[in-house]
């Protein structure tokens, strides 16, 4: 599910909110048997093309949430990104989470209004197709 962010001010808190408000309800309805992640880390802090601000802590949080799905069956395939330091730090946090290691969490700031508007627009657009949004 794509969320069309309408700002560059997107970080961990916006992605966590998207998980809570969009992805979690959809996954509860869909009930996947396996979760496959194409992990490009283009959204990582420091990526010159993605220009999003997801920290390694944010990726660890999202990974932990994915592990609650499909009885923990999660496959992560590293496939790209454009900043080797960002990719390395982010993937290390994801792997540590998959292995059950503790990853330090960064406190989340409030979700920017523009990001909340993007999440609501996504829910509205998909509500005719998913019971979770009705």
User: Mind listing the pLDDT tens digit for each residue in 18-36?
Assistant: 999 999 999 999 999 999 9
Tell me which DSSP letter residue 31 carries: -
Q: Tokens representing 113? A: 């209004």
- Asked, for residue 124, whether it belongs to a domain, the answer is no
Measured between its terminal Cα atoms, the distance across the chain in Å is 17
49-101 tens-digit pLDDT: 888 999 999 999 999 999 999 999 999 999 988 999 999 999 999 999 999 99
**Domain of residue 81, residue span:** 12-102
Claim: this prediction has a pTM higher than 0.85? yes
Counting the structural domains of the chain, the total is 1
pLDDT for 45 equals 95
Residue 118 lies in a domain: no
Dihedral pair phi/psi, residue 36, rounded to 5°: -115, 125
Is residue 27 included in any domain, yes or no? yes
Question: 100 near 65, Cβ under 8 Å?
Answer: no
Instruction: Write phi, then psi, for 54 (nearest 5 degrees).
Output: -85, 125
Q: Is residue 18 part of a domain?
A: yes
């Amino acid at each position: 599910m794509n969320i069309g962010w309408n700002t560059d001010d997107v970080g961990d808190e916006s992605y966590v909110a998207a998980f809570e408000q969009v992805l979690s309800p959809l996954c509860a309805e869909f009930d996947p048997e396996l979760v496959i992640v194409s992990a490009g880390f283009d959204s990582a802090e420091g990526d010159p093309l993605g220009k999003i601000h997801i920290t390694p802590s944010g990726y660890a949080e999202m990974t932990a949430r994915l592990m609650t799905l499909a009885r923990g069956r999660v496959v992560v395939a590293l496939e790209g990104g454009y900043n080797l330091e960002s990719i390395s730090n982010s993937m290390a946090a994801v792997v540590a989470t998959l292995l059950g290691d503790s990853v330090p969490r960064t406190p989340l700031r409030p979700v920017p209004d523009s990001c909340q508007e993007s999440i609501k627009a996504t829910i509205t657009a998909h509500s005719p197709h998913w019971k979770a949004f009705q």
